[in-house]
Copies of this chain bind each other. A is one copy, B any other.
Amino acid sequence: MTVSPRIAIDAMGGDIGPAAIVAGMARARRKDKKLHFDIYGDRKAIEAELKKQTGLDGAVTIHHADDTIGASEKPSQAIRRAKTTSMGMAINAVKDGVAHAALSGGNTGALMAMSKLALRTMPGIDRPALAALLPSLEHDLVMLDLGANTECDAQNLVQFAVMGAAYSRTVLGIEKPKVKLLNIGTEELKGTEELKDAAAMLREADYLPFKFDGFTEGDKLARGDIDVVVCDGFSGNVALKTAEGTARFVTDLLRRAFTSSLRSKAGFALSKPALNLLKVHLDPNNHNGAVFLGLNGLVVKSHGGANPKGVANAIGVAARMVRNDITNKIATDLDEFRAHAFAGADK
């Protein structure tokens, strides 16, 4: 067990710049005194932000980077500048064994492409996946893939299930997570061939440290009775963004309703403390920490617009994954899956 997680931070990623990131590091360190940060980006800007924070003395190593990856830059262009950009250098720190995990709030496509190229997929994984936390009525659930792969076969989906369950175990502490496949119906005959094949394979794999529980539909995700939901990157991305858009839509309607009359404005004022609870529950900063799983090294994607609390939460996710050695957990589960599959084929 690694007791002192060392996190490589891209100071220049994200919409707000180094201010939110350095403040998030300080916030994370106040909770977890063993953290060490390698921070990559403009030295002067970083030093200016560090002066505003306390509690980071001796916990930060600054690495100057001349260049940054733009928010709309194409991944194919970004990968050529791995050695000179704050994002590329943070990822390389993981590759070179300097850091245990990299964290960036920058361009997702570039981060994914650079991470894949530098860290390569781990043995037994055909494609890495982007996993994130979604709020529900009970606890957060892990969802993957969220856009790394537009099309997936049954093997990919099974591997995502193994990786998502490892996320749930290491970060949320759920011993035997309940895993479901996202489908357009819950009957066994519903959906694509890939989904039906993946379900058949997962049903057999009852020796793995999670419980496969069949199909689920988009309307049941937020109920709180699922720990991990697995899907291809296209429908995962559609579901995640539709959930975000709908939550915003309903709260917009709520705002309109509350400002529609003097009476309802008074009601709003009275209900404010309660409504703040709703805001806390839906705030993406409280569910920050999307992760690229399936690489030989950890890369965490923070929301581009994350505030210091959001950055601190993403750092917390990275630290828990490092301490609980998620990469090895995934490798072990995959070995077991393959051993059983081969044993089955021999019969």
Q: A interface vs B, CB < 8 Å?
A: 135-137, 147, 150-151, 182, 184, 191-192, 217-223, 231, 233-235, 237-254, 256-258, 260-261, 263-264, 266-275, 277-278, 281-282
Q: Is B239 within 8 A of A260, CB to CB?
A: no
Query: Known contacts A191-B150, A246-B243, A252-B137: does B268 contact A271 (CB below 8 Å)?
Result: yes
Query: Known contacts A184-B238, A267-B271, A273-B263: does B218 contact A245 (CB below 8 Å)?
Result: yes
Q: Is B271 within 8 A of A249, CB to CB?
A: no
Chain A to chain B contacts (Cβ below 8 Å), 8 pairs: A136-B249, A150-B191, A182-B238, A218-B242, A219-B241, A219-B248, A263-B273, A267-B269
Q: Is B235 within 8 A of A260, CB to CB?
A: no
Task: Chain B residues near A264: list those with CB within 8 A.
Answer: 270-271, 273-275
Q: How far is the CA of A273 from the CA of B258 in the complex (A)?
A: 10
Closest Cβ–Cβ distance, residue A301 to chain B (whole Å): 15
Q: A184-B233, A258-B274, A260-B277 are in contact. List 5 more A-B contacts (CB 8 A).
A: A238-B242, A243-B243, A254-B275, A267-B270, A270-B270
Q: Is A242 within 8 A of B246, CB to CB?
A: yes
Task: Chain B residues near A248: list those with CB within 8 A.
Answer: 219, 222
Q: Is A257 within 8 A of B245, CB to CB?
A: no
Closest Cβ–Cβ distance, residue A229 to chain B (whole Å): 11
Task: Chain B residues near A282: list those with CB within 8 A.
Answer: 250, 253
Q: Is B219 within 8 A of A245, CB to CB?
A: yes
Most chain B beta-carbon neighbours within 10 Å: one of A191, A250, A277: A250
Q: How far is the CA of A114 from the CA of B214 in the complex (A)?
A: 28
Closest 8 A/B residue pairs (Cβ) = A267-B271, A267-B270, A218-B241, A218-B242, A264-B274, A219-B245, A222-B249, A246-B246
Q: Is A150 within 8 A of B247, CB to CB?
A: no
Q: Is A245 within 8 A of B220, CB to CB?
A: yes
Q: Is B234 within 8 A of A191, CB to CB?
A: yes
Residue of B nearest to A242 (CB): B218
Q: How far is the CA of A252 from the CA of B250 in the complex (A)?
A: 12
Q: How far is the CA of A268 from the CA of B241 in the complex (A)?
A: 30
Task: Chain B residues near A184: list those with CB within 8 A.
Answer: 147, 150, 233-234, 237-238, 241
Task: Chain B residues near A252: list those with CB within 8 A.
Answer: 137
Most chain B beta-carbon neighbours within 10 Å: one of A223, A231, A277: A277
Q: Is A150 within 8 A of B192, CB to CB?
A: yes
Most chain B beta-carbon neighbours within 10 Å: one of A217, A220, A245, A278: A245
Q: How far is the CA of A270 from the CA of B263 in the complex (A)?
A: 6
Q: Is A281 within 8 A of B267, CB to CB?
A: no
